[in-house]
Chains A and B, each alone.
Chain A
Amino acid sequence: MSTATVAPESTAYTPSAESIAAVLAPGEKPRRPGPLSASLTFGWRAMLKIKHVPEQLFDVTMFPIIMTLMFTYLFGGALAGSPREYLQYLLPGIMVTSVVMITMYTGVGLNTDIEKGVFDRFRTLAVWRPAALVGMIFGDLLRYVLAALVIMGVGLVLGFRPGGGVMGVAAGIGLLVVFSFAFSWIWTWLGLILRSEKSVMGVSMLVLFPLTFLSNVFVQPTTMPGWLQAFVDVNPITQLVAAVRSVMTGAPEAGAITWVLVASVACTAVFGALTMYRYNRK
């Protein structure tokens, strides 16, 4: 570190009218970037933030590993005879649970980010308005993929053998990422309407815990009482897990897959619109 040379430099600066005039010279103003290009630029910002603060990847690496190990060995023997047997059923579900839980950090991140002045700058730019948020979620998609790959890696080491092969696994992760992108818009909306990151966290947990546990992630719903089955059947996570599980085992269920895709579009449309409504009025 060249701290010795930096200190005098920063105080010795005298603004030069010529150099400031040069940067203000009325050159050709570039054409405004399109929605995709602007969103990708904001996605690049998310990448840079990961580069500068790599610790933020803890939640997408350590948390999924702990989840997978914990539930495989906690329930495996009791529910399926052996952890290895149970893993064949559990892995797609625990992957969905982990990634869906990680989506809430999108809302938490937005809530802390937007309190800083930099969003003022973004909002005074004449770019496609949702770009800043879409780009942020693009960055998060990378985190989702990373978490899914970490879990798949742990699963393979522990003995998970997906019948669908590489294509099946890739399709499963693809479905999960599409759904997570859509689901993230709920958190961006909450991130904008709730006052602090703590409350975003609290509300997210309140929604996510029942949604992920009261589903087909850990056990077959047929073992549950009727009223609980009724909830599990309408739970979107159940549909998502069914779809992911089906493609990974190599027997795609068209119904569940369609449901996931339609729900993703609907969720993006509704909560994307609500998010933008709040964002424009913040």
Chain B
Amino acid sequence: MAVNRTGLAVETSGLVKTFGKTRAVDGLDLAVPAGTVYGLLGPNGAGKTTAVRMLATLLRPDGGEARVFGHDLRTEADAVRTRVSLTGQYASVDEDLTGTENLILLGRLLGYRKPAARERAAQLLAAFGLTEAADRQVKKYSGGMRRRIDIAASILNTPDLLFLDEPTTGLDPRSRNQVWEIIRAVVAQGTTVLLTTQYLDEADQLAGRIAVIDEGRVIAEGTPGQLKSSIGAGTVHLRLRDAAQRPEAERLLAKVLDTTVQQEADPVALTARVGGSGAAVDAAAAGSRALAELAGAGIVVDEFSLGQPSLDEVFLALTDKAARTEEKA
């Protein structure tokens, strides 16, 4: 497919959208390479949905520049529309209509003649495992099936860029895995996917690059690996059998891991971040050294886990950093 010179599916600079006094998107700079899955990661209210709605031509930007495959969002909206598709947070199909009717309707609106639209609907329903539900109203579908008909409707026009706004929020684990598989299959065909999510593991599973968004701005950008190592490779959580041993355990851990150890509200729990920038590979080794040290000192550990930083932790670390740089400046 024709890609513009820069090879970018989306490029924005200083994009702004305000609602009254709220600056929902406040100077957003993005560069999404074509043919990849790009994740927009951030908490509720960070401006992810607003950004995606602007890029899908549903909202007019109040400031800044934005191009989709080189087409200006404001002056060439129809050209953008022929290349993109959006699956919103809420079902973007007609719930009163059946699966087949929804897809035929969209097929007709894209210009397929009735027999071709019917054929395409059947093909999509089969690919998404919805053949048996084809003649049921969408409002009677389960959450996972609804998501699938939604994505099927979105790829009916074989878009070059697919926006997925929190595609797995509210889904059970099985349905979530199905959606992930679908996304992988879609991107394997060369479609660019711009995905918003609140879940770090989802972005990690799918996205080649991630932009972390807070208060309408990108506060960090990079591959999942880069983002994680920038704030430390992981977190050690442990629970002791005896609360009285906690102060000693804390002292030992701080020494072995060479980091600050936090006492949790739970009187037997401790948390420590391990492996600072660039030291990702050492996290597991440091963890096991710590465990050995505690055992040697006669401290009984009931639970030990070495995990990736959660979104909360990535987020807190990044916003901390942003606050510190502002203070310096």
Q: A6-B132, A118-B91 are in contact. Are A11 and B185 (CB under 8 A)?
A: no
**Interchain nearest-CB distance for A278 vs B (Å):** 13
Q: How far is the CA of A37 from the CA of B105 in the complex (A)?
A: 12
Q: A20-B185, A23-B123, A48-B97 are in contact. Are A14 and B109 (CB under 8 A)?
A: no
Q: A6-B132, A23-B124, A24-B189 are in contact. Are A15 and B97 (CB under 8 A)?
A: no
Residues of chain B having any CB pair with chain A under 8 Å: 1, 53, 56-58, 60, 78-79, 81-82, 84-86, 88-97, 101, 105-106, 108-113, 116, 120, 123-124, 126-129, 132-133, 137, 142, 144-145, 148, 153, 155, 157-158, 174, 178, 181-182, 184-186, 188-189, 191
SS class, residues of chain A in contact with chain B: helix
- Contact of A281 with B60 in the complex, beta carbons under 8 Å: yes
| Residues of B contacting A37 in the complex (Cβ-Cβ under 8 angstroms) | 108
- Contact of A33 with B109 in the complex, beta carbons under 8 Å: yes
| Residues of A contacting B144 in the complex (Cβ-Cβ under 8 angstroms) | 10
| Residues of B contacting A16 in the complex (Cβ-Cβ under 8 angstroms) | 127, 185
| Residues of B contacting A53 in the complex (Cβ-Cβ under 8 angstroms) | 96
Q: How far is the CA of A6 from the CA of B130 in the complex (A)?
A: 10
| Residues of A contacting B93 in the complex (Cβ-Cβ under 8 angstroms) | 117-118, 121
Q: What is the 8 Å Cβ interface bit string for chain A, positions 117-159, against chain B (1 contact, 0 not)?
A: 1101111111100010000000000000000000000000000
- Contact of A121 with B106 in the complex, beta carbons under 8 Å: yes
| Residues of A contacting B153 in the complex (Cβ-Cβ under 8 angstroms) | 121
- Contact of A29 with B158 in the complex, beta carbons under 8 Å: yes
Q: How far is the CA of A24 from the CA of B162 in the complex (A)?
A: 12
30 contacts between A and B (CB under 8 A): A6-B133, A9-B132, A10-B144, A15-B128, A20-B128, A20-B182, A21-B188, A22-B127, A23-B124, A24-B189, A26-B1, A29-B82, A30-B116, A32-B82, A32-B111, A33-B109, A33-B111, A45-B94, A48-B97, A49-B96, A116-B90, A117-B90, A120-B88, A121-B93, A121-B106, A124-B57, A124-B84, A124-B85, A126-B78, A126-B82
- Contact of A117 with B91 in the complex, beta carbons under 8 Å: yes
**Interchain nearest-CB distance for A132 vs B (Å):** 9
Q: How far is the CA of A281 from the CA of B92 in the complex (A)?
A: 19
User: A44 contacts which of B86, B90, B105, B129 (Cβ < 8 Å)?
Assistant: B105
- Contact of B123 with A22 in the complex, beta carbons under 8 Å: yes
A27 within 8 A of B: yes
| Residues of B contacting A13 in the complex (Cβ-Cβ under 8 angstroms) | 128-129, 148, 178
- Contact of A30 with B97 in the complex, beta carbons under 8 Å: no
| Residues of B contacting A121 in the complex (Cβ-Cβ under 8 angstroms) | 86, 88, 92-93, 106, 153
**Smallest CB gap from B60: residue in A:** A281
- Contact of B142 with A10 in the complex, beta carbons under 8 Å: yes
User: B158 contacts which of A11, A27, A48, A49 (Cβ < 8 Å)?
Assistant: A27
| Residues of B contacting A52 in the complex (Cβ-Cβ under 8 angstroms) | 96-97, 137
Q: What is the 8 Å Cβ interface bit string for chain A, positions 94-135, against chain B (1 contact, 0 not)?
A: 000000000000000000000011101111111100010000
User: B86 contacts which of A5, A6, A45, A124 (Cβ < 8 Å)?
Assistant: A124
- Contact of B95 with A116 in the complex, beta carbons under 8 Å: yes
- Contact of B105 with A123 in the complex, beta carbons under 8 Å: no
| Residues of A contacting B137 in the complex (Cβ-Cβ under 8 angstroms) | 52
| Residues of B contacting A268 in the complex (Cβ-Cβ under 8 angstroms) | none
Residues of chain A having any CB pair with chain B under 8 Å: 5-6, 9-17, 19-27, 29-33, 37-38, 41-42, 44-45, 48-49, 52-53, 116-118, 120-127, 131, 281
- Contact of B109 with A38 in the complex, beta carbons under 8 Å: yes
User: A118 contacts which of B60, B89, B92, B155 (Cβ < 8 Å)?
Assistant: B92
Q: A44-B105, A52-B96, A127-B109 are in contact. Are A26 and B182 (CB under 8 A)?
A: no
Not counting A14-B178, A32-B82, A126-B79, a sample of 11 additional A-B residue pairs whose C-beta atoms are within 8 angstroms of each other reads A9-B129, A9-B133, A19-B127, A20-B185, A23-B127, A25-B158, A48-B96, A117-B89, A120-B56, A124-B84, A126-B81
**Interchain nearest-CB distance for B18 vs A (Å):** 14
**Smallest CB gap from A9: residue in B:** B132
Q: How far is the CA of A173 from the CA of B155 in the complex (A)?
A: 43
- Contact of B1 with A48 in the complex, beta carbons under 8 Å: no
Q: How far is the CA of A49 from the CA of B138 in the complex (A)?
A: 12
- Contact of A26 with B105 in the complex, beta carbons under 8 Å: no
| Residues of B contacting A25 in the complex (Cβ-Cβ under 8 angstroms) | 158, 189
| Residues of B contacting A49 in the complex (Cβ-Cβ under 8 angstroms) | 94, 96-97
Q: A17-B188, A21-B185, A117-B92 are in contact. Are A124 and B116 (CB under 8 A)?
A: no
8 shortest A-B CB distances, which residue pairs?
A13-B129, A30-B111, A19-B127, A20-B185, A117-B92, A126-B81, A117-B90, A15-B181
- Contact of A24 with B112 in the complex, beta carbons under 8 Å: no
Of A17, A25, A37, the most chain B CB neighbours within 10 A belong to: A17
- Contact of B88 with A117 in the complex, beta carbons under 8 Å: yes
| Residues of B contacting A41 in the complex (Cβ-Cβ under 8 angstroms) | 105, 108-109
- Contact of A17 with B185 in the complex, beta carbons under 8 Å: yes
